[in-house]
Amino acid sequence: MSMLILILAVQILLLTTFASAGDRGDFARTMNPKRLHMKEKLTHLRVYWHDVISGPNPSAIVIKKHVAKHSFGSVTMIDNALTSDVPINPTLVGQAQGFYAGASQHETSFLMAMNFAFKTGKYNGSTITILGRNTIFSEVRKMSVVGGRGIFRLARGYVELSDILHICIVLSFHFVHNDHIE
């Protein structure tokens, strides 16, 4: 009987210890940005995204053709140019690399996952990661900025898309990021 009480006491002690450790969240902790010498910066960028789907050097290649209406089921890989100006006199600032896939059976909309890799100026080597739904017949669409690398590390925010030409979309980014490069 005394052995049973001892075993129960040890089990209760262990359960209490593990439960209290779980309540404190020992596997994760809140980090103080000031202590890490991090500062957040609000940035607005405006770039032009060129989606060339035909011709001798397309930047978007259909991997899987759609099998239903509204492009549902299609998958397109992209390596699109990003420029700082409209197509008349463009200056290349980076590449949009990723894919878009037809994601709706009821309207033409795409799931888009892209990394915007910048190649010039102070943003050279930095990327912004975008994920979201693009309902292409809407005048203005919004997608999420879900991360980044380099100067855009820990980026979060949104991007607005609007068509200006058949193959060119203007993207306006509004996001907060850590402005510190290690």
**What does the domain layout of the chain look like in residue ranges?**
39-178
Distances (CA, A) of 63 to 74, 75, 81, 107, 127: 7, 5, 19, 20, 24
Identify the burial level of 153 via C-beta atoms within 10 angstroms of its C-beta, where 0-12 means exposed, 13-18 middle and 19 or more buried: middle
Q: Which residues contact 90 (CB under 8 A, 6 or more apart)?
A: 48, 50, 81, 83, 84
**Domain 39-178 adopts which CATH fold?**
AOC barrel-like (2.40.480)
Strand partners, 144: 131, 158
pLDDT in tens, the chain (182 residues): 667 676 766 666 666 655 555 455 455 566 666 666 667 778 888 888 888 888 899 989 999 887 778 789 899 999 998 988 776 677 899 999 999 999 888 998 999 999 999 999 989 999 999 999 998 888 888 999 999 999 888 888 888 888 776 556 677 777 777 765 54
Q: What is the identity of the amino acid at 86? A: V
Identify the burial level of 53 via C-beta atoms within 10 angstroms of its C-beta, where 0-12 means exposed, 13-18 middle and 19 or more buried: middle
74, 64 Cβ separation under 8 angstroms: yes
Q: Give me 89's structure tokens.
A: 């006199």
